[in-house]
Amino acid sequence: MAQEYSFDIVSKVDLTEVKNALDQAEREIANRFDFRNSKTSFALEDNTIRIISDDEFHLNMVLDILRSKLAKRNVSLKALQYGKIEPAAHGTVRQVVTLRQGIPTEEAKALVKQIKASGIKAQAQLQGDQVRVSSKEKDALQAVQRLVRSMENLPYDVEFINYR
């Protein structure tokens, strides 16, 4: 019987790297002159980052700092989903940034459909918030990886794991 090879396509964020990026961003904000006497703070809770700052201008600067620190730690910026800016206590503003984990079901179905339509001899199927791709040929799996990497319009970052 021929051996079947497979891998999983996932979209996940390393929360340890996010925490490290938040710590670096907090240190930079503490040292910057334009944030002296500012009420800027971060809070990481589950898969959300709550940012509080003095006004929208400072909040946008904080977001730029945070994005640069996340990018340096190889956390995909596609995983960030920004909430609306809301007024908070004592004249401050607040914004919640959600870290998207997993591939949404509708987008995973579209990904499976594109893999099947490509004509590559590989089977793709949904497994929760990830896609399992299997084939009898390793070359077919590599072709699927090239196909997925070439899709530039994906609203999420992809990783390939569980090679078997």
Q: pLDDT tens digits for 89-134?
A: 888 899 999 998 888 888 889 889 988 888 889 898 898 888 999 9
Domains (range + CATH), the chain: 5-12+103-161 (3.30.70.860), 15-99 (3.30.70.990)
In terms of Cα–Cα distance, which of 150, 148, 164, 163 is closest to 11?
148
Identify residue 164 by its one-letter amino acid code. Answer: R
Q: Distance between CA atoms of 80 and 156, rounded to whole angstroms? A: 9
41-45 mean pLDDT: 89
For residues 76 and 114, the answer to whether their CB atoms sit within 8 Å is no
CA 4 to chain centroid: 30
The mean of the pLDDT values for the chain is 89
pLDDT above 60 (res 24) = yes
In terms of Cα–Cα distance, which of 70, 54, 65, 68 is closest to 16?
70
Q: Distance between CA atoms of 126 and 109, rounded to whole angstroms? A: 7
